[in-house]
Structures are given as C-alpha cells and as structure tokens.
C-alpha cells in the first residue's frame, strides 16, 4: 500500500488526565475492579504503591510523556505553541505537556503515591522519586541513523540514545557502584516509551510509503531493546515497554489520509492501512519483549498496550462521558471534518478551543486530552499490575 504523508506537525501522539485527591481512608484495591474504576480512583487507591510498593519512576520517551524537557531545550520565548495557552489550561498554566492537562505518566505517579516527575532538564528539579527524560519530538533512532535513511527530525537531537546517556549520568551521580544502584532501583518502575512513533511520523513526512516504514521497524525495535537492557544493567526490575496507538484513528492522520473510499475505513472510521501498520509494529515489539523475558527471567518486562487502551475509549465512549459525535475531532483546532488543519493548529489565532475538553478524546488533533489519558491509564494499570511481579498482585 503506497501512502505518503506530508504537512503534519512534528510532534507525536500524546494524552492526559485529571488530578484526583489522596484521602487517607483509601479502600483496598481489588484487581477485578474495572479499568474505569481504576481510572476514576487512581489517586485514592494508589495501586502501584499499595500492591507493587513502587518508590521511584523513570521515564524515557517522546511527547506522550514529556513533562517539560522540550521547552527547556529551547528558549521558553522561542514561540513553540506548547509553551503557552491553551496548552495546560486544565492545569492553570502551560508546563510543556502537549495537552490541556496531565499525561499518563502523571497518573502512574499518582498511582504510586509519588509527586509528578520533574523533567530531567529542570534546573531545580527534585529527582529523589524519579526522573522524566522524555522529550517531545524525539525518536527511537538517532538523528544520524535517520539521516542515513533520508529521514529528518526537525524537532530535537534528544533521541532515545541521548536520553539513555542522561539516565546514565544521573545514576552515576546518585549511586556510585553497581550494587548501590541495584539496591536503589529495587522497587522502581521504568517506562521505555512510547518511543518510535516519531520515527514513523518523520518518515511519512519525508514521503516514505507504509512499505518503506515496515523496513524501518526492526531498527526501531532494536533501539528500544537496547534501552531496556541498559535499564536492566543499572538495576531495573520492572519495565513497561509501550507500543503505538491505532494511529489511523487520530485526527491528524484522518485528515491527511482522507478519502471518499469507504473501504479504506474500519468500523470505527479509522484508516485501515495505518492501523494495520501500527499492529505490525506492535507485534514486532512484543516479539522482542518475549525474547528479552527469556534472557532476563527474573525481570518483569511488560508490554504496554496503548493500541487497545485507545480502542477501549472508542468502544466505551458514551459510558466514559465522551461526546460520541466528536470522537475523531480535535478539541482545539479548526477545519472540517476533524477540526484539524495542519496550517492552523492549536495555539494559532485561528484555532478555537472546545468548551469542555473532557468530552473529547483528541486535544489538538495530534495529542489527546487529559480525560482520555485518565481512562487509558486506568486500562493500562488494570492489565499491567498483575504482570509486574508485585507482592499480592
């Protein structure tokens, strides 16, 4: 299937959620509680704290999990849209998160009873309970490797290998021996990704076909695998490796691949070819995880199923309070039929913000809303916790 993608904004897919209270009289967690219950009560039941005793979180990734590194790499006054309103409007201020509010990683912190992770580039960051190394726009492959394939990353030089080096420097500064690091990280949680989505975004933007992207998949998976091994060598014992979303359901892709051919769409009105590619990549990533688990049988290496987490929002939209007529429209944007225009994206004067982002899955046509992330985090925690080798899980 020869498909090219042009004129898309160079930030990968991201999603957010809502801040919940932390009352002391929290109820006991039952793993048979629904994913919706998990999402609505993450800050109350704190499952990663109470079942897994997680005391630190480390995140590698892109804009799905960046809590402020990208805007610190660049001048805050450089004009990047994510550094000003309406980004961060639910939080009361833009933070460098690519949404109206919190990210899934923020919910994972809530679930652990920990503060939100400070970005590693924050000068006065507090890193006793973890570090967020993710950078919006980053790739699994280095910029040099991409350039050799005629793919350009116009956003950042902080690819996955650079983030791993930041992580290495951090651990070298806080635990000076291998034994000390292993002891410090015994109850930690690592998230390696989502990363790789931008490798494919930039390849599309450079005119690559889906067949061409398939040739890129093994290299992306190998890079992620190498990062997982580096984390294990430092002492990581619980690692989540997320896959990609059903990108054919995202407004930016729906807009760029819009066609009158009804056969190109599935039952959710998502682009079949794009979702088929996402599944192809996710399968390759899962196969790599299976091999890693055989190499490291005492390490919990868990696939994060972002693909089905997102589909669960579509299939349960009404129950979760989303507007079923706006599931593939951006809350912040302009243009029909998806309220997305690559030349007038969220943050530009022409773009308008919907009255209630909680009714929408997509925030800006590329990244999702806080509410979407809340429910995806609940879905993921519900499926991941039993696989993390936690006492009582």
Of 364, 368, 382, 383, which residue is the catalytic one? Answer: 364
Helix (H) or strand (E) holding 303: strand 300-304
- What value, to the nearest 5°, has the Cα angle with vertex 305 and ends 181 and 339? 120
What does the chain come to in residues?
Answer: 393
Of 63, 155, 255, 288, which residue is the catalytic one? Answer: 63
Helix (H) or strand (E) holding 59: strand 56-60
Give me the torsion for CA of 2, 7, 12, 16, rounded to 10°.
Answer: -120
φ, ψ of residue 259 in degrees (nearest 5): -150, 155
Q: Which residues pair with 131 in a beta bridge?
A: 58
Tell me if residue 169 is catalytic: no
In order of 80, 82, 155, 200, 363, the CA distances from 88 in angstroms are 13, 8, 20, 27, 11
- What is the pairing mode between strands 130-132 and 238-242? unpaired
Tell me if residue 364 is catalytic: yes
Taking the C-alpha atoms of residue 118 and residue 69, their distance in angstroms, rounded to an integer, is 9
Give 221-276 as a 3 state SS string: HHHHHHHHHHHHHHCCCEEEEECCCCHHHCHHHHHHCCCCCHHHECCCCCEHHHHH
- Choose among 68, 71, 85: nearest CA to 132: 68
Tell me if residue 63 is catalytic: yes
Question: How do the residues of the chain divide into helix, strand and coil, expressed in percent and rounded to 5?
Answer: 40, 10, 50
Taking the C-alpha atoms of residue 42 and residue 381, their distance in angstroms, rounded to an integer, is 9
Contact 17, 368 (CB under 8 A): no
**Residue 68 DSSP code:** S
Q: Which residues pair with 222 in a beta bridge?
A: none
What is the strand order of the sheet 188-192 is part of? 130-132, 56-60, 188-192, 238-242, 300-304
Of 358, 367, 382, 383, which residue is the catalytic one? Answer: 367
The catalytic residues are 63, 364, 367
């Amino acid at each position: 299937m020869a498909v090219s993608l042009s004129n898309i904004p160079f930030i990968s897919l991201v999603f957010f959620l809502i801040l919940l209270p932390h009352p002391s009289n929290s109820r006991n967690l039952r793993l048979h509680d629904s994913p919706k219950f998990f999402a609505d009560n993450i800050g109350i039941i704190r499952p990663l704290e109470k079942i897994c005793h997680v005391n630190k979180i480390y995140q590698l990734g892109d804009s799905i999990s960046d809590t402020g590194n990208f805007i610190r790499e660049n001048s805050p006054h450089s004009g990047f849209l994510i550094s000003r309103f309406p980004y961060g409007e639910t939080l009361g201020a833009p933070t460098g998160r690519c949404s109206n509010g919190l990210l899934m990683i923020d919910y994972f912190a809530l679930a652990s009873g920990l503060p939100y992770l400070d970005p590693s580039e924050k000068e006065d960051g507090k890193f006793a309970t973890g570090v967020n190394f993710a950078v919006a726009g980053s790739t699994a492959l280095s910029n040099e490797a991409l350039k050799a394939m005629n793919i350009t990353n116009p956003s950042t030089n902080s690819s996955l290998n650079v983030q791993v080096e930041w992580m290495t420097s951090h651990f070298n500064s806080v635990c000076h021996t291998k034994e000390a690091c292993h002891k410090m990280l015994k109850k930690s949680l690592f998230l390696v990704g989502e990363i790789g989505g931008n490798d494919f975004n930039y390849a599309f933007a450079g005119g690559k076909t889906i067949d061409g992207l398939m040739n890129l998949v093994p290299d992306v998976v190998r890079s992620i695998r190498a990062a997982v091994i580096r984390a294990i060598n430092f002492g990581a014992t619980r690692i989540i490796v997320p896959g990609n979303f059903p990108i054919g359901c995202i407004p930016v892709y729906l807009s760029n691949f819009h066609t009158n051919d009804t056969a190109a769409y599935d039952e959710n009105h998502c682009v079949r070819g794009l979702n088929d590619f996402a599944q192809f990549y996710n399968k390759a990533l899962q196969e790599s995880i299976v091999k890693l688990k055989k190499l490291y049988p005492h390490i919990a290496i868990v696939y994060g199923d972002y693909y089905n987490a997102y589909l669960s929002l579509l299939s349960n939209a009404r129950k979760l309070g989303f507007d079923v007529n706006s599931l593939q429209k951006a809350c912040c944007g302009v243009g029909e039929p998806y309220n997305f225009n690559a030349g007038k994206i969220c943050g530009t004067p022409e773009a308008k913000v919907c009255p209630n982002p909680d009714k929408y899955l997509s925030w800006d046509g590329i990244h999702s809303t806080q509410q979407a992330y809340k429910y995806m985090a609940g879905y993921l925690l519900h499926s991941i916790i039993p696989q993390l080798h936690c006492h009582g899980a």
